[in-house]
Amino acid sequence: MRPLKIVEAVPNISEGRRENVVQEIAAAFGSVPGVVLLDVSSDASHNRTVLTAVGEPDALVDAALALYASALDHIDLRTHRGEHPRLGAVDVFPFVPIENVDMQECVALARRVGHEVATRLNIPVFLYEEAALDPARTDLAAIRKGEFEGLAAKLRDPAWKPDFGPKAPHPSAGATVIGARVPLIAFNVNLGTDRLDVAKAIAKSVRHSSGGLRFVKALGIDLAEKKQVQVSMNLTDYRKTPIFRAFELVRLEAERYGVPVVGSEVVGLVPAAALFDSADHFLRLIDFEREQVLEDRVRKALESRA
Amino acid sequence: MRPLKIVEAVPNISEGRRENVVQEIAAAFGSVPGVVLLDVSSDASHNRTVLTAVGEPDALVDAALALYASALDHIDLRTHRGEHPRLGAVDVFPFVPIENVDMQECVALARRVGHEVATRLNIPVFLYEEAALDPARTDLAAIRKGEFEGLAAKLRDPAWKPDFGPKAPHPSAGATVIGARVPLIAFNVNLGTDRLDVAKAIAKSVRHSSGGLRFVKALGIDLAEKKQVQVSMNLTDYRKTPIFRAFELVRLEAERYGVPVVGSEVVGLVPAAALFDSADHFLRLIDFEREQVLEDRVRKALESRA
């Protein structure tokens, strides 16, 4: 059998209140053969839904176009209200490499989908993160600044000419941001104290925005029912800022306050490589190769057989 | 697609010198459809070859029977000499659960192959490790004691009535030992000293036979070219004696001699779960579940789809 190329697609749509609309858009997205819808999470106050699906690149192109068409039918940004910033009906659409596929293939996939969406639906498309053609568009927040309401003015600025599509917003669907990125890891470290100020100080010291590690976002959070506090992190590129380094830095900073680390947690999914890297670090492994993982080796042998 | 049930089969045959014979037996074993031969390692001084293959249980039954038939054609224990102890032409044949299959299925597989080998080829079969029907036969060394040359006398002892097959050795092929076990992990820890006595003392303190951890075999070894020494271990059940515990115990014992751990190595293959367990331990993860591993989750979703 040919090895499956597995890509994850995580579109964020600007609808989190009308359940029937979310279901209809999710059905359009998930019913393409070869695409498996893993999760649909709506947030009513954000009025936004995150869909997660996996599949091979070609199947995901079809699924993406079906999602955009359905969102165009059902979402009108002119009447959309919600707490989360947004630029379009399908607000952000990242592709994430999972297996037998590299970042470059996901970048190509994002650009292909961007071109199709612009051409078929007349929606302006910005390419972001690893798929960005313009380094100023790497950061999603910069692209989304001004939101839907400021979009017409933004698109008149030559610096914000879209990567594909018209230089004016789609009347109801706004614009969309498509790209490729590594999987995010939500990783929290719990501290054996009820002092929220300690968690906040540590979060500040480890996060990128205030001088910490390059690919860490962090907040101090109260876990009142446990009488603990937590450094809650998003690791936005585990290949460059690995889990173990974030963990060890939090532990070291906590020592300065005489506070112990009582545990940590991965929220949701984590790539196998991120855990292998942690084992490799703490065991001080020499020259460890991914192909030494028994199941990977076996799968590769079975796939190359036919 | 249906999830593949993947089992590893690691037969040890009593031939490590005649390359053409090894190749012929390996071809018989590996040419069954659905079976993939991963490795063939011969040792001339042992006059023994270890073959490693993976496949689904039914395919491995056919492959095992082909291997036994071919070994019977080519190996005669009456003229076999080698340093490694052996009881038969196919000396030992363990099945190892890898994916979507549990130990009980491997035990059933071992017994099924044992029954067929005894019935079709008239070879006495002992079941060992997890497949043992008699607790005295869990340990391979006890079964093999006396070797081929003492086999006829051993089989006359009612305590050593074989689990399947005749109460007398096969004239040329002797007997065979079939069973099921967890994957072995070869794990070495390197110490920043050239004192071999320190490595030997630590090996003695961590290995089961002299009072250490239940599923650890260990030796102290000189790495002269690196001016280091090594505690070289076999972890025979990583589920019960995990890698991280063996590592940490070696590290602690080395401290007593003022010796640092400068690295470790996994030789050959290691199950993913053994590395996940180490990451879990050192990161102090709370309630981590295997299904949080992204690739596993994706694979399961894709498999359950069709």
Confidence bin at B133 (pLDDT 50/70/90): very high
Give per-residue pLDDT as tens, A57-94. Answer: 999 999 999 999 999 999 999 999 998 899 999 999 99
Please, what is the average pLDDT of chain A?
A: 94
Of the given ranges (A71-80, A142-151, A287-296, B156-165), which has the lowest mean pLDDT?
A287-296
For residues B62 and B160, state if they share a domain.
yes
Q: Domain limits at A56? A: 6-180
Is pLDDT above 80 for A286?
yes
Residue B175 pLDDT level (bands cut at 50, 70, 90): very high
Question: Cβ A298–B271 below 8 Å, yes or no?
Answer: no
Band of pLDDT at residue A267, cut at 50, 70 and 90? confident
Q: Which residue in B has a C-alpha nearest to residue A249's C-alpha?
A: B283
User: What's the CATH number where B32 sits?
Assistant: 3.30.990.10
What is the nearest CA distance from B133 to chain A, expressed in angstroms? 29
Could you tell me if A277 and A264 lie in one domain?
yes
User: Which of A261, A270, A295 has the CB atom closest to B284's CB atom?
Assistant: A261
CATH code of the domain containing B265 = 3.30.70.670
Determine the average pLDDT of the residues in B150-165: 97
State the sign of the Cα–Cα–Cα–Cα dihedral B64, B70, B74, B76. Answer: positive
* A193 located within any domain: yes
Q: Which of B247, B262, B302 sits opposite A36 (nearest CB)?
A: B302
Adjacent-strand bridge partners of A263: A190
Confidence of residue A1 (pLDDT cuts 50, 70, 90): low
Would residue A247 count as lying in a domain?
yes
Note whether residue A1 is domain-resident: no
pLDDT at site B306: 54
Choose one of B180, B208, B243: the last residue of a domain: B180
* Cα Dmax for chain B: 60
Q: Is the pLDDT confidence value at A297 over 90?
A: no
Q: What percent of chain A has pLDDT over 90?
A: 86
The answer, yes or no, to whether residue A305 has pLDDT greater than 80, is no
Q: Which residue has the tokens 């890891």?
A: A185
Touching B: A residues 43-62, CB under 8 Å:
54
Q: Is the pLDDT of residue B67 over 90?
A: yes
Task: State how beta strands B125-129 and B176-180 pair.
Answer: parallel
CA-based nearest residue to A82, from A143, A27, A12: A12
Indicate whether B196 belongs to any domain: yes
- The pLDDT assigned to A306 comes to 54
CA distance, residue B187 to nearest chain A CA (Å)? 10
Does B40 contact A at CB distance below 8 Å?
no
- Under 8 Å between Cβ of A75 and A14: yes
Give yes or no for residue B302 having a pLDDT over 90.
Answer: no
Average pLDDT score over chain B: 94
Query: How far apart are the C-alpha atoms of B98 and B51, rounded to whole Å?
Result: 16
Q: What's the ipTM?
A: 0.81
Are residues B196 and B154 part of one domain? no
Q: Does residue A248 contact residue B270 with C-beta atoms inside 8 Å?
A: no
Single out the residue in A132, A162, A180 at which a domain terminates: A180
| CB neighbour list of residue A17: distance below 8 Å, 6 or more residues apart | A42, A44, A47
Q: What does the alpha-carbon distance between residue A71 and residue A121 come to, in Å, rounded to a whole number?
A: 11
Lowest mean pLDDT among A55-64, A115-124, B54-63, B296-305: B296-305
How crowded is residue B227: how many other Cβ atoms within 10 Å of its Cβ? 10
Looking at residue A276, its pLDDT comes to: 97
Do residues B28 and B96 both lie within one domain? yes
The pLDDT confidence band at residue B90, using thresholds 50, 70 and 90, is very high
Confidence of residue B305 (pLDDT cuts 50, 70, 90): low
- Are B97 and B148 members of one domain? yes
In a domain, A304, yes or no: no
Report the candidate in B94, B59, B74 with the shortest Cα–Cα distance to residue B26.
B74
Domain count, chain B: 2
**Do the chains contact at B54 and A298, CB–CB below 8 Å?**
yes
Q: Angle between the B243-256 and B272-282 helix axes, to the nearest 10 degrees?
A: 50
Q: Which CA distances in Å does A290 have to A236, A242, B248? A: 22, 16, 23
Q: Residue A117, exposed/middle/buried by CB under 10 A (0-12, 13-18, 19+)?
A: buried
Residue B150 in domain: yes
3-state SS, residue B270: strand
Beta-carbon count within 10 A of B19 CB: 12
Q: Kindly state whether residues B102 and B147 are assigned to the same domain.
A: yes
| Catalytic pick among B74, B80, B84, B208 | B84
Q: In whole angstroms, what is the distance from residue A15 CA to residue A81 CA?
A: 9
In whole angstroms, give the CA distance from residue B163 to residue B135: 12
Distance CA A37, CA A30 (A): 5
Residue A23: per-residue pLDDT: 97
Active site residue A74: no
B221–chain A Cβ distance below 8 A for any pair = no
Query: What sign for the dihedral angle of Cα A9, A295, B28, B106?
Result: negative
Domain's final residue, options B160, B180, B200: B180
Report, as an integer, the average pLDDT of B22-33.
96
Closest alpha carbon within chain A to B272: A293
Tokens standing for B49? 């070859």
The answer to whether residue B133 neighbours chain A at the CB level (below 8 Å) is: no
DSSP E strands: which ranges in chain A?
Answer: 6-9, 12-13, 36-43, 48-55, 90-99, 125-129, 176-180, 185-191, 216-223, 228-235, 261-267
Residue A101 structure tokens: 């596929």
Kindly state whether residues B124 and B196 are assigned to the same domain: no
Verify that B255 and B121 share a domain, yes or no.
no
Q: Which is catalytic among the residues A46, A84, A208, A281?
A: A84
Q: Is B255 found in the same domain as B129?
A: no
* Residues A173 and A27 both lie in one domain: yes
Q: What is the mean pLDDT of residues B10-35?
A: 96
Which three-class secondary structure state does DSSP give residue B30?
A: helix
Using 50, 70 and 90 to split pLDDT, how confident is the model at B304? confident
Examine the domain organization and report whether B162 and B196 are in the same domain. no
Query: Quick one: closest CA in A to B54, which residue?
Result: A298
Distance CA B212, CA A7 (A): 46
**For range B264-272, the mean pLDDT:** 91
Q: For residue A102, what is the DSSP state?
A: -
Position B302 in a domain? no
Percent of the residues in chain B that have a pLDDT greater than 70, as a whole number: 99
- What is the mean pLDDT of the segment spanning A155-173? 97
Q: Are residues A79 and A122 in the same domain?
A: yes
- Using alpha carbons, select from A7, A34, A39, A8 the residue that is nearest to residue A22: A39
pLDDT digit string (tens) for A202-240? 999 999 999 999 999 999 999 988 999 999 999 999 999
Q: What is B240-252 written as a DSSP string? A: TS-HHHHHHHHHH
Amino acid symbol at B219: L
Q: Is residue B304 included in any domain, yes or no? A: no
